[in-house]
Amino acid sequence: MTRPAVILDVDGTLVDTNYHHALAWEVRDAETEEYAALIDEVRPLPGAIALLEELERRGCRVVLASSAKEAEIGQYVGLLGAQEVPYTTSADVESRGVRRGLPGSRRAVPRSGPSPRTGVIGPRRR
């Protein structure tokens, strides 16, 4: 039997990055440098690590989907203790102007392996 797969958004869903990105975006031209100075303040949201552990306990294949840069997602994966979990980065997102769905989720599905049951958890884009 094929294991169910779950694709989880990282930024703002598992890891609390919203405040830090907002501060960095105020100085748009220096966003990368400003966010790099703040990234060590970022923490997993309550329940995020427990969710990953429970999904693993239930035998789900998990993929972390993000449009973050490689260095950022590497930091988040470390915070979540999810170094063995496949993930997407900004390099996987076809367009930064993604309007619907989770950024990188189309690229994340193949990384989760074949499954007729794939769940996606993240912000709803309108």
Is residue 118 within a helix (H) or strand (E), and if so which, with residue range? strand 118-121
Q: Beta 15-16 vs 43-44: how paired, if at all?
A: antiparallel
How far is CA 95 from each of CA 71, 90, 99, 111, rounded to the nearest angstrom?
19, 9, 9, 19
pLDDT of residue 126: 44
- Ordered by start, the domain boundaries in the chain are 5-15+43-121
Report the chain (126 residues): mean pLDDT per 10 consecutive residues: 80 86 77 86 94 92 87 93 90 56 50 55 55
Sign for the pseudo-dihedral over CA of 70, 72, 75, 76: negative
What is the architecture of the domain spanning 5-15+43-121? 3-Layer(aba) Sandwich (3.40)
Beta carbons within 8 Å of 96's beta carbon, 6+ residues apart: 67, 90
Contact 60, 112 (CB under 8 A): no
pLDDT of residue 85: 92
Distance of CA 114 to the CA centre of its chain: 20
| Measured distance CA(20)–CA(42) in Å, rounded | 7
pLDDT of residue 95: 52
